[in-house]
Structure formats: structure tokens, C-alpha cells
Amino acid sequence: MIDQGKKNVLGVHVNAVDYEAAVEKIISAAKLSKPLAVSALAVHGVMTGVLDATHRYRLNHLDLIVPDGQPVRWALNLLHKSHLPDRVYGPTLMLKLCEAATAEGIPIYIYGSKLSTIESLKSKLSSKFPELNIVGMLPSKFRPISIDEKKIIINEIYRSGAKIVFVGLGCPRQEVWIYEYRSMLNMPLIAVGAAFDFHAGILPQAPPVLQTYGLEWLFRLTNEPLRLWKRYLLLNPVYVFLLFLQKTWLKRFDSSGDVPPTSEMMFG
């Protein structure tokens, strides 16, 4: 088990952990009914924090950020000699958590995406893990919500008896969500993004060989070029350049410029 704590990647504090350590932290928090905000960040997720000081503050106040993308794992190894043998891929982490939750009798909740997607996701997870206790699900409203609506969401999750909530709202909305709800829900909140679409059978996953060599972005770009071209063709080169600056000490990246949110960004 590898758990080296948080490391600075372009000013975003990413945990140098493996699957075993991440699962252990999350399941332990679920058993103890402790709040734990968790996100799996690839390059795009890290860059949302690099480019937005307020969002970087949110990210740096999450409890656990796992290196979802190979380039993020490479950055941890390059900058901090973490020697991580593999990334902690959000969709795989979700399945490992479902397996552990099944073994431990921990009920889960699914929040976000469209109703048709989470219905398919529930069906696929139930087929893969017949004993998994999925106690509730709620689709995103895809709009700002009121304080009263937020209270209803919190109450529904509590009433369900859930001990873990998987959140699929897309980056960076899902990270904002788990940051805001962490203090109101005494359980792990896991932002897993595209894992909902992958496991529901809505989107195809990249072949393992492309994932191994950090080329998942290319596969996704070819499948969704209009939506993703800016994310990958613009942000990826900037990410590499900034890593060069951090590695060579030509630029200092720290949290001194983080800006706390002045108000909640309530959406559901």
C-alpha cells in the first residue's frame, strides 16, 4: 500500500496513493460516518485549479485527490519521486469501492448525470455486484438550485441510509459539489466524472494500451471532438510546459494565491 500524502502538482495538492490506500481511506471513513471529499483528477482537473485561484482553493481543501490520469502520476513521480506504479483511475476506483462496499455491507448512493444514465448505471452495477446495496439515486437538475432544494437533497441522501455517495457531474462542477456538501454529509463523497457514462455503457472506454501510455485523451477526443478539443489540444501542452517550469524551479507553484469562495455555487 502506498500513501505518501499530498504533493504539489502546479499548486494543486494531489495525493501520492495507490488503489489500496485510496480504498482503505474511503471505506474506513464510511464505516465511521466521517465526511471525506474525494476526487479523481486527470490533467483537465488539475488545470481547472491552475487557471482559477478560487477553484484551486476548493481542490486544496478536499480530503483526497487521486491521480486519475497517467500524466498526473508521471508528474508525481517526476517532481516528488513518488514511484507510483500506476494511476488511480476514477472508473476503476469506483468498481473497487463497489466491491469493497459489497463485502462490508456499506450502502451507496448515486448522484448526478441524467436519469436514464444512472438507471442504466444502477442496473449494470447490480448485475456486476448482486449484493451491492444501492439505496438511492438522484439525477442532476442541470441548473442552479435554491437553498431549500439543497436541503431536500441532503435529507434524501441521509434518509436513504447511504454511507458513500458517488457523484457524477463532470469537472469542475462535481468538485464544487463535494466541496460544498462535505460539511453537511457525514460520509465519503466521491467525484468520479465520466465513470457514470462508462459503466452505464453510454461512452466507450479507451483500450488498455492507450490508457497505459497516457493516450486516453486521444481516444476520447476522437469520440467527442467538438466537446473536448479545447480541453485536450490547448490544456495538455500548457500542462507539460508548466511542469517543466516547476521541475526546473523557473516558477514557484504554491497555495499562497488561493482565493476562498465568497459564496456557494449551488447547483444540482
CA torsion, ordered 34, 28, 165, 220, to nearest 10 deg? 130
CA torsion, ordered 65, 136, 127, 132, to nearest 10 deg? 70
Asked, for residue 214, whether it belongs to a domain, the answer is: no
- Residue 180: which domain range? 3-200
Place of cell 451507496: 108
Domain count, the chain: 1
191's enclosing H/E stretch is strand 188-191
Query: Chain-centre distance of CA 98, in angstroms?
Result: 15
Asked, for residue 179, whether it belongs to a domain, the answer is: yes
The closest alpha carbon to 159, from 138, 175, 135, belongs to: 135
Give the pairing of strands 188-191 and 36-41: parallel
From first CA to last CA, the distance across the chain in angstroms is 35
pLDDT by residue for the chain (268 residues), tens only, comes to 999 999 999 999 999 999 999 999 999 999 999 999 999 999 999 999 999 999 999 999 999 999 999 999 999 999 999 999 999 999 999 999 999 999 999 999 999 999 999 999 999 999 999 999 999 999 998 888 888 889 999 999 999 999 999 999 988 999 999 999 999 999 999 999 789 999 988 887 778 877 787 777 777 777 777 777 777 778 889 999 999 999 999 999 988 889 999 877 666 7
Asked, for residue 257, whether it belongs to a domain, the answer is: no
Evaluated on CA atoms 226, 242, 38, 262, the torsion sign reads negative
Q: What are phi and psi of 158, to 5 degrees?
A: -65, -45
Q: Could you tell me the CATH number of the domain that includes residue 155?
A: 3.40.50
Query: Chain-centre distance of CA 89, in angstroms?
Result: 9
32's enclosing H/E stretch is helix 19-32
Taking the CA of residue 188 as centre, how many other CA atoms within 13 Å lie in the half-sphere pointing to its CB?
Answer: 28
- In one-letter notation, the amino acid at residue 95 is L
Asked, for residue 243, whether it belongs to a domain, the answer is: no
Q: Cα separations (Å) of 171 from 56, 68, 70, 135, 174?
A: 13, 12, 17, 25, 6
Bridge partners of residue 144, in order along the sequence: 267
Contact between 110 and 39 (Cβ < 8 Å): no
What's the CA gap between 176 and 189, in Å, rounded? Answer: 11
Asked, for residue 245, whether it belongs to a domain, the answer is: no
Bridge partners of residue 188, in order along the sequence: 36
pTM for this model (two decimals): 0.93
261's enclosing H/E stretch is none
